[in-house]
Amino acid sequence: MTYPERVRRARELYRLLRGEAPPLALRELLEAVLGLKCSRVDVAEVGMERLYALSVSHGFGMALASFKTLPVLERDKGDWSDHAAGYVDLSDPRGLYTVYLGPDEEAAETACLAEAQLGDDIFGELLGIPACCRAFYLELRATALQRGDDYLELTLERSAQRIPAGANILGQYFGQTLMSHFPCSLECARSREATWARGRALREVNEDLVDHLEEGHYRHVLVLTGTGMWGFEGQPIPGGVLVQGAQRRVGAPGLKLPAGTRLLAHETGRGVNLCSPDGIWRGLERARLVVVEPRW
């Protein structure tokens, strides 16, 4: 199949699934259909059946894992988390089906086989993850498992205060990002290049979808370790951000960020000073401020 034919097929699928599938899951499907990478999604039975019917009618590849996943949705991470409580047999009424997607059946079956038998490095390559980030994943796997199977804190620990927008994985927690893996740091140039290359390809399918996903890269985020995070618009100031509004919250129910709040990072990078509009200072010790760069 030629690439223009893949684009046409992806556009048809977008029209069918717009408003039905979550934006991140739809992004994963379209990237696989375009042949940009293989994808893995966890879906309920109705979603699995829908994907199978579409794979038959539209000719993309789909493979099913031999198990179902019991997900753990952590309230401080929005509607997305890497954490699994365990795995059960396909006949078990609990859990989600793990589905592998590719531009054709062979690619999808290869991805399924790779995760089951060939190891994380080869599987990560099929998912389009840069080599430096695959090495980061393997190096810190045991540590991440101890932290709830999450690489967020490990990525932040390796990142500077100011970051390139293209490597901002935090948008994933708000359901808006073009990135599909944890980068080895928020400055990872290879992650940034891969992310924006896929974004350019997706624009051939639908501009509105990419505009929506891209917004996640341009949101300042205040991360409160173990509690949640705030995403907001703001004006960069020396050492931090002046909050302007348009906030989105994941977890962190006890914190307010009214317009005019000043957020300044501790010099050590392991805390944030919050100054309310009325001039009252407060220290947030277990916090990290992620300030994005201006739009490209």
For the segment 10-31, what is each residue's pLDDT rounded down to a tens digit? 999 999 999 999 999 999 999 9
Counting every residue, how long is the chain?
A: 296
Neighbours of 84 (CB within 10 A): 15
Residue whose token pair is 């929005």: 78
pLDDT computed for residue 82 by the predictor: 61
Please report the sign of the dihedral spanned by the C-alpha atoms of residue 203, residue 208, residue 211, residue 212.
negative
Task: Determine contact, residues 115/131, Cβ cutoff 8 Å.
Answer: no
- pTM score: 0.88
Number of domains in the chain: 2
Phi, psi of 292 (to 5 degrees): -90, 160
Q: And the tokens for 185? A: 């740091």
Residue 295 carries which DSSP code? Answer: P
Give yes or no for residue 241 having a pLDDT over 70.
yes
Please check whether residues 166 and 248 belong to one and the same domain: no
pLDDT computed for residue 152 by the predictor: 80
Alpha-helical (H) ranges within 114-178 are: 120-126, 131-139, 141-146, 152-157
Neighbours of 25 (CB within 10 A): 19
Residue 203 carries which DSSP code? Answer: H
Task: Determine contact, residues 6/103, Cβ cutoff 8 Å.
Answer: yes
Please check whether residues 260 and 169 belong to one and the same domain: no
Residue 293 carries which DSSP code? Answer: P
pLDDT computed for residue 143 by the predictor: 81
Please check whether residues 276 and 168 belong to one and the same domain: no
Closest CA to 188 of 229, 236, 134, 225: 134
* Angle of CA points 147, 253, 227, to nearest 5°: 15
Domain boundary among 172, 191, 216: 216
Please check whether residues 210 and 183 belong to one and the same domain: yes
Please check whether residues 183 and 276 belong to one and the same domain: no
Please check whether residues 126 and 187 belong to one and the same domain: yes
Please check whether residues 15 and 78 belong to one and the same domain: yes
Please check whether residues 150 and 237 belong to one and the same domain: no
Q: Which domain holds residue 76?
A: 3-216
Please check whether residues 148 and 116 belong to one and the same domain: yes
Q: And the tokens for 164? A: 């390139």
- Beta bridge pairs of residue 202: none
Please check whether residues 285 and 186 belong to one and the same domain: no
pLDDT digits (tens, 9 = 90+) for 149-194: 567 888 888 887 666 667 888 888 888 899 888 898 888 989 989 8
Please check whether residues 75 and 104 belong to one and the same domain: yes
Domain boundary among 198, 216, 234: 216
Domain boundary among 167, 190, 216: 216
Please check whether residues 123 and 39 belong to one and the same domain: yes
pLDDT computed for residue 162 by the predictor: 64
Mean pLDDT of the chain: 88
pLDDT digits (tens, 9 = 90+) for 54-112: 999 999 999 999 999 998 777 767 666 667 788 899 999 999 999 999 999 999 999 99
Neighbours of 3 (CB within 10 A): 12
- Residue 269: which pLDDT band, with cuts at 50, 70 and 90? low
pLDDT computed for residue 161 by the predictor: 62
